Structure 1
Amino acid sequence: MPQLDLSLDAAQLTAQLVDIPSVSREEKVLADAVETALRELPHLEVLRDGNAVVARTALGRAERVVLAGHLDTVPIADNVPSRLEDGILWGCGTSDMKSGVAVQLRIAATVPEPNRDLTFVFYDQEEIEADANGLKRLAEKHPEWLAGDFAVVLEPSSGEIEGGCQGTLRVLLHTTGERAHSARSWMGRNAIHGAAPILERLAAYEPRRVEIDGLEYREGLNAVRIEGGVAGNVIPDACTVTVNFRYAPDRGEDEALAHVREVFDGLYEDLVVDDSSPGALPGLGRPAAAAFIEAVGGTPQPKYGWTDVARFSALGVPAVNYGPGDPNYAHKRDEHAHVDKILHCEERLRAWLTLNGSNPA
């Protein structure tokens, strides 16, 4: 079985992690290696569910922080094993997100007495369908394993704090008509034309901007697909407009759906929810978050998009995204991470968790 050397710095450890292939649903070898390495650390309790591994301290601190990252990658694209060239580490998963996982492991190994109790979560199957997500499974089966006052998901964010995340809702708006020969169009009713008021409502829509914890989240309501038509000489009797609503995390899923129904009231025959995931509040006003921002530096930004921080928010744990990888290179054949950013992330997290007096027990 491959062995992980937690005495290496986070960049060198990233290379070890990359060299253990762990495409989604094939994480067992890496999960075994992570579990074995963590069980060598006497200050941690280690738990496992499938190919997800959780380790945590029990020091009785006033706050608990969760550091989370997924073990899996997208399919390898001739970019394993890793290689190091001029301060850049190349390979599948370097950015998304084995560099973040390496930082987690280094903190687990080198900070035995943190100023906050810590929970480390290493989970599987993040890169595939949501129902398979290992963090979702843990939240349903073992929510107590994920309990905390604040969470950091080490998804690639180029070493910048991205607070919370947007919620996303996708709905299908159906319009109907009456089929007819296009040469006798007056004998039918065109369902595609019936979708025009929906598009007009979208074009006139003014998306909301809302400030939460000093971060401005911008919402968006957009048509992302239109489907309809039977043949080149047929008046269509059905049309579907797919609409995606990206909303600020102060709205819940039910509120987001109610808003979409209100916007399009009277303009559709039927509305079907095709996908829905809630957003996540950043929680930057929490003491742990304030100390985190001070230690990490920079100016926090809102997260435009959805990440697993939302799963923590659903459990009542505010969360941010903070990882050394560059999201612009995630999943690419030329995926890579800069060594200096990996080491900086490791250094900053260690400073946050060892700063004397920042959170007395």
Structure 2
Amino acid sequence: MNELDELAAELVSIPSHDDETAAGERIADWLDAETAASVRIDEAGNVIARRGSGDRSLALVGHHDVVPPDESQVASETLDGADEYVVERRDGRLHGRGSADMKGAVAAAMLAFRDADPSGELVFASFAGEEQGGVGAQAAIESGFCPEYAVVGEGSTGYSAPGVTDVAVAHKGRRASTVRASGQSAHASNPSEGENAIYRACDAVDELRALDVPTVEVAGEELSGSLVATEVEGGTAWNVVPDACEVTVDERTVPGERAPIERVESISGVGVEIEQDLPPMRCGDDAFAETVLDAAAEAQDAAPELVTKPHATDAGWLSQAGTTCVVCGPAEPGEAHTEDESVSLAVLERCYELYRGVAERWPAV
């Protein structure tokens, strides 16, 4: 085993679905011991380290929280009596909760942060709460975290072709809304005496289905939004005209325009509430994207491409705050959040070389 393999496996073994404290402390301790950087853990549990100086700053960004593990991914009996995540190496891959999303990439970024010889300020950031909607990233931004550039280590491998680590220059966001329709209850034998909230909710759904969702072109790809009603709840009994009905709406947003979902409020008794709004991301600096692409090409035999991702990441929050971002990491589509989550050890090594390469060449942009 090499240093990256060992560090990634250690991070994966540390439970961080309920409480990220132990994982964050281990990352901070390693950075303190292995680098001369200024290292701190903020009130949100984010680990932020800085080294070098200059007018321009580049951040290598990840997160150390994970989604809850499958039972098979937890070893409940260990020598110290504490739960640990199961870590296995099979067929050149590291298996365990968080290996793909995204402690493997965090380990690669930690080593690159230590080993690179940057010409400006190099920042390492591992956020807490990414799986809860980016609460760590938002807290850091509110406290002034805003590097000029960032490489976010979420998955970008296998997009242009199997096994190729590409550079994502845009991704979709997610807006979750609840459409609430109110009416007046009545006995179902005299429906005209009431106002049927389900009917009003159906009218709102018809309005949503008629909306045009925005589409943008990025890196030669068409990135299209979507708008889907995913849940309906209403009514109390078979013989009562319902006075309330709710419809859950999942919307995938793209950089720029949004679908005008507020139009449903033109229907009597209907309102809409935004429950979550994860911002999309688009890299607005072609030179920076090409610099990262060059580093990606140098780190592998294949020819990587500029691509787009369908999933929201912390790059959306950073981009919204003014940081120029790309997403580049080892995870492949379908690897994260599964009971057999894993990441290629060879691709982790590739990402280490990639991150180090970007850190040493980015001021050229």
TM-score (norm 1): 0.84
The residue number in structure 2 matching 1:260 is 261
The residue number in structure 2 matching 1:30 is 23
Q: Secondary structure of the equivalent of 2:171?
A: coil
1:33/1:179 CA distance change after superposition, 3 Å: closer
Counterpart contact for 1:38–1:44, Cα < 8 Å? yes
The residue number in structure 1 matching 2:357 is 351
Q: Deviations over 1:175-226 (max 9, x none)?
A: 3333222233343332212233223223333322112465532112222222
Give the letter aligned to residue 68 of structure 1: V
TM-score (norm 2): 0.83
Distance 1:328 1:157 in 2: 12
1:37/1:52 CA distance change after superposition, 3 Å: same
1:325/1:239 CA distance change after superposition, 3 Å: same
Counterpart contact for 2:181–2:201, Cα < 8 Å? yes
Equivalent in 25, 28, 38 of residue 45 of structure 1: 38
Equivalent in 139, 142, 150 of residue 140 of structure 1: 142
Distance 1:175 1:200 in 2: 13
The residue number in structure 2 matching 1:119 is 123
Counterpart contact for 2:181–2:271, Cα < 8 Å? no
1:312 deviation in Å?
0.6
Equivalent in 15, 23, 36 of residue 9 of structure 2: 15
Give the letter aligned to residue 156 of structure 2: S
Distance 1:196 1:52 in 2: 44
Counterpart contact for 1:167–1:247, Cα < 8 Å? yes
1:32/1:274 CA distance change after superposition, 3 Å: same
What is the percent sequence identity of the aligned residues? 28
The residue number in structure 2 matching 1:310 is 316
Give the letter aligned to residue 26 of structure 2: A
Distance 2:130 2:251 in 1: 22
The residue number in structure 1 matching 2:60 is 67
The residue number in structure 1 matching 2:91 is 86
| 1:328 and 2:339 aligned | no
Counterpart contact for 2:65–2:131, Cα < 8 Å? yes
The residue number in structure 1 matching 2:51 is 57
Distance 1:36 1:237 in 2: 57
| 1:341 and 2:347 aligned | yes
1:30/1:172 CA distance change after superposition, 3 Å: closer
1:300/1:268 CA distance change after superposition, 3 Å: farther
| 1:172 and 2:166 aligned | no
1:38/1:260 CA distance change after superposition, 3 Å: same
Equivalent in 115, 123, 135 of residue 110 of structure 1: 115
The residue number in structure 2 matching 1:230 is 236
Q: Secondary structure of the equivalent of 2:109?
A: helix
Distance 1:329 1:69 in 2: 17
1:348/1:21 CA distance change after superposition, 3 Å: same
1:284 deviation in Å?
4.7
RMSD: 2.6
The number of residues matched between the two structures is 339
Q: Deviations over 1:52-73 (max 9, x none)?
A: 221112232x532111111122
1:129 deviation in Å?
5.9
The residue number in structure 1 matching 2:281 is 281
| 1:161 and 2:167 aligned | yes
Q: Deviations over 1:156-180 (max 9, x none)?
A: 3333322343333333323333322
1:286/1:46 CA distance change after superposition, 3 Å: farther
Q: Secondary structure of the equivalent of 1:290?
A: helix
Q: Secondary structure of the equivalent of 1:328?
A: coil
Give the letter aligned to residue 41 of structure 2: R
Q: Secondary structure of the equivalent of 1:183?
A: coil
The residue number in structure 1 matching 2:222 is 216
Q: Deviations over 1:74-105 (max 9, x none)?
A: 33433233111121111121111111111111
1:347/1:85 CA distance change after superposition, 3 Å: same
